[in-house]
Structure 1
Amino acid sequence: MATRKRLADSWCGVVLAAGKGVRMNSARPKVLHTVSGVPMLAHATNAVRAAGITKVVVVVPPGGDSAQEFQAAAGPKARLVVQTSQLGTARALLAARDAAARPDSILLSYGDAPLITPETISAVTAAHTKQRSTVTILTARVPDPTGFGRIVRDKGGAVTAIVEERDATAAVRAINEINSGCYAFDAEWIWSQLPEIPRSSSGEYFLTDVVAAAIRAHRKVATVEAADHNEVLGVNDRVQLAEAERLMRGRILRRLMLGGVSVSDPATTYVDAGVTVGADTVVWPNTHLRGATRIGMRCQIGPNAILDGVQVGDDSTVVASHVESSKIGQRVHVGSFSRLRAGTSIADDVFIGNCAEIKNSSIGSGTHIGHFSYTGDATLGARVNIGAGTVTCNYDGKRKHQTIIEDDVQIGSDTMLVAPIRIGAGARTGAGAVATTDVPPGATVVGVPARPIRPKSVKRRIEVPRSGS
């Protein structure tokens, strides 16, 4: 706890997110593209906070069109500052100086590097503090270092230079330890150095020149090697975005499986970063769990299911169905080929069969909606049975209207319920009925339009005396 408090008090995280992302070929800012359902910028800022650094400054591009999206992705407590001119990483960090106030140390990361973990950031801050370094570099050893700056060391292992590939000799190009671009800096020193960085031949100012200045001044330059080289992947185009998605998905599924969730085919299972799944749940192939979906324990999800922003209670099953922004209780069965649209709430012990659509409706406990039906803007009580082909006719061409079905109602096949309408408790409709007015409790209605029918009279059997009795 004391260590985290020291981090909160003495560190500031700066996340650079002002790059144009030209290679993405997108009107959308690069760092707002999503990986596993979450903007890349959110992954980056969340990792910084999870490492214990609570003060976060994000450097964003000019233009107010996306300001709210940047703030939402960075988090409400993040401070956004604008880099008015795209003049390189050194000037981007300099833009954050006033917002960063006066911490002892700066942790620098990037909004297009969504895979760096809190554990790796913690390793960087811990090494920087322990070694009292001026600069600490996060490095990685990669199978193919093409395109990256190489970490050059002397015989004693000390860093002597970061050499960009365009300037590297054949011997330097053979080095597979690369500069990730993630650094920790002594704050007082870095703020004093940034204005002194010379302009490069491309007209920009780069942080690698700050590192070179530290080496020339015989300042302490430390390194931390990432345990997994994939963490330092930067996303510059759609190909790298897909690779980041694949890697993040594997990380998420591994966490779920180690937590007691069975994933029958990870290669065809897609789970967003904000999803939670309870132990002993089985996720079958071709399943997508999106947004803030919450799955309970001992559930069966899939195959071929899409759940987006859904809460599912324990012991429930969703097979080959699409569910969005809905709540599903315990011991519920949905599917196959059904759709639950936004605003739907399903109580416990409900059965929803195949090819049923439910929209903005509340379904009471123990209710059965077997197949081929539409339930929209409706409230169903407990133990209701909806026959095949039933439709709540909720739209009159101008407005949507409510259907209310009370407890223990039996709705016959192909019934049309023309809203607004209330079906009283224990009532029944005959097959093919078109109900246009309220049905009283206990009544049975049939026909077009549906009308009540009286129970047939029961003829009393007259006992005829037998002869001789």
Structure 2
Amino acid sequence: MSNSLPFPTLAVILAAGQGTRMRSSLPKVMHQVGNRPLLGHVLATADAAGIEQLAVVVGPDTPAVAEYVRQAAPAAQQFIQQQRLGTAHALLSARPALLKHEQGCVLVLFGDSPLIGAHTLERLRQTLIDGAAVAVAGFTSAQPGPYGRLLTEGGRLLAIREAKDASAEELQINLCNGGVMGFRADHCLWLLERIGNSNAQGEFYLTDAVELANAAGLSVVAVEVAEEEILGVNDREQLDAAEQIFQRRLRQQTLPSSHSEAPALNA
């Protein structure tokens, strides 16, 4: 990735989740795949992608996560999400970093998604450089059931519809929300501050930025990536699945004829 101005990149990694479904006292992002914490893989991929600035949002009750970040990425800024009120709220916990980052791109990553590749971060960034105000990673799934659907038209992303709110027609869409997003820095805070919490959970959802951006006449684009890249680890079964994918990538790297990228393996 080019580091040339005027598009420096700030990656904000959301790592404040409690991970109650892991049934462990260990913070979710500290569970390991390939003998490295989930969060460690995301930090390594951001480094491999040439991200200039890093911020990590941690919980108020996870000192082990904060200490790990200090050791693994000492230059990263850390922010505490005092209350867990949704993804947009988590991102706004890093407001001081967002305020300073007035030009370029902001990428929003998740500390429990260890398989994302540097190439995907580069594609999201390039989409923003090419003129999009918001870029959303999406994936095609043969079993889209529980996932939010990406509603597109003529190359534009119009909205992200949660499965429980989708119409029967929308449920037939198999392009799904991958969670990872990118923002042009000059639009990021403006959009975040307009996200409300008028929903069943009373939370501030980052996905609402899509419709807000469209309403403001800004360009919003979906960037399709491989489903396995944005696998989030929320329970033991998903942790095992991530380990299997990691080991498969590791084996592929040892094959002379393989051109498969395995960015999560970067040290």
1:62 is aligned to: 60
How far, CA to CA, are the matches of 1:208 and 1:64 in structure 2?
Answer: 26
Q: Distance in 2 between matches of 1:44 and 1:246?
A: 17
Task: Name the amino acid aligned to 1:215.
Answer: N
Name the one with the larger helix percent: 2
Find the counterpart in structure 2 of residue 113 from structure 1. 113
| In 1: Cα distance, 2:62 partner to 2:157 partner | 41
Structure 1: distance between partners of 2:108 and 2:172: 27
Deviations for 1:363-391, whole angstroms, at most 9, x for unmatched residues?
xxxxxxxxxxxxxxxxxxxxxxxxxxxxx
- Equivalent in 220, 230, 233 of residue 235 of structure 1: 233
Partner of 1:204: 203
Residue 63 to residue 185, structure 1, CA distance change in 2 (3 Å): same
Aligned to 2:216: 217
Judged with a 3 Å threshold, the aligned counterparts in structure 2 of structure 1 residues 55 and 111 are, in CA distance, closer, same or farther, namely: same
Which amino acid in 1 is paired with 2:123? A
- Give the distance between the partners of 2:63 and 2:233, measured in 1 at CA: 22
1:253 aligns with 2:251: yes
1:211-261 per-position Cα deviation (integer Å, ceiling 9, x unaligned): 1101112210012111x221111111010000000001101110012379x
| Aligned-residue offset at 1:37 | 0.9
- Kept in 1: contact 2:16–2:57 (CA 8 A): yes
SS of match in other structure, 1:181:
strand
2:28 aligns with one of 27, 30, 40: 30
Structure 2 CA distance for aligned equivalents of residues 78 and 123 of structure 1: 22
8 A contact 2:12–2:91 mirrored in 1? yes
Structure 2: which 5+ runs fail to align?
Answer: 259-263
SS in 2 for 1:93: helix
Is contact 2:55–2:94 with CA below 8 Å preserved after alignment? yes
Identity percentage of aligned residues: 35
Alignment-mate amino acid for residue 218 of structure 1: G
**Counterpart in the other structure of 1:91:** 89
1:18-51 CA distance string (max 9 Å, x none): 1111111110110111111111111112111211
Give yes or no for contact 2:110–2:180 (8 Å, CA) kept in 1.
Answer: yes
Task: Give, in whole Å, the separation in 2 of the partners of 1:189 and 1:218.
Answer: 12
The amino acid that maps onto 1:71 is: R
CA 1:81–1:259: 2 relative to 1, 3 Å: farther
Change (3 A) 1:103 1:51: farther
Residue matched to 1:137: 136
With normalisation by structure 2, the TM-score equals 0.90
Distance in 2 separating the partners of 1:148 and 1:71: 34
Partner Cα separation in structure 2 for residue 4 and residue 256 of structure 1: 30
Which AA in structure 1 matches 2:31? H
**1:196 counterpart SS class:** coil
Contact (CA 8 Å) 1:81, 1:99: kept in 2 or not? no
* Partner residue, 1:178: 176
Note the residue ranges of structure 1 that are not aligned, 5 or more in a row: 261-271, 276-469
Separation (CA, whole Å) in 2 of partners of 1:96 and 1:244: 28
For residues 217 and 141 of structure 1, the distance between their equivalents in structure 2, rounded to whole angstroms, comes to 28
> Do structure 1's residue 6 and structure 2's residue 5 form an aligned pair?
yes
Contact kept? 1:82, 1:95, Cα under 8 Å: yes
Q: Distance in 1 between matches of 2:230 and 2:142?
A: 13
Give the CA deviation at 1:69: 2.4
Contact 1:139 1:223 in 2 (8 A): yes
* 1:157 corresponds to 2:158: no
**Structure with the higher fraction of residues in strand conformation:** 1
Tell me the number of residue pairs that the alignment of Structure 1 and Structure 2 aligns.
258
1:274/1:207 CA distance change after superposition, 3 Å: closer
SS at match of 2:21: helix
Q: Highest relative contact order (Cα 8 Å, sep 6+), 1 or 2? A: 2
Secondary structure in structure 2 of the residue aligned to 1:258: coil
Partners of 1:65 and 1:111 in 2: CA distance: 15
SS in 1 for 2:246: helix
Tell me: CA distance 1:190–1:274, structure 2 relative to 1, closer, same or farther (3 Å).
Answer: closer
What's the TM-score once normalised by structure 1's chain length? Answer: 0.53
Residues 64 and 142 of structure 1, relative CA distance in 2, 3 Å threshold: closer
Q: Is contact 1:106–1:185 with CA below 8 Å preserved after alignment? A: yes
What is the root-mean-square deviation of aligned Cα atoms in Å?
2.0
Q: What code does the residue aligned with 1:222 have? A: V
Q: Secondary structure at the match of 2:193?
A: helix
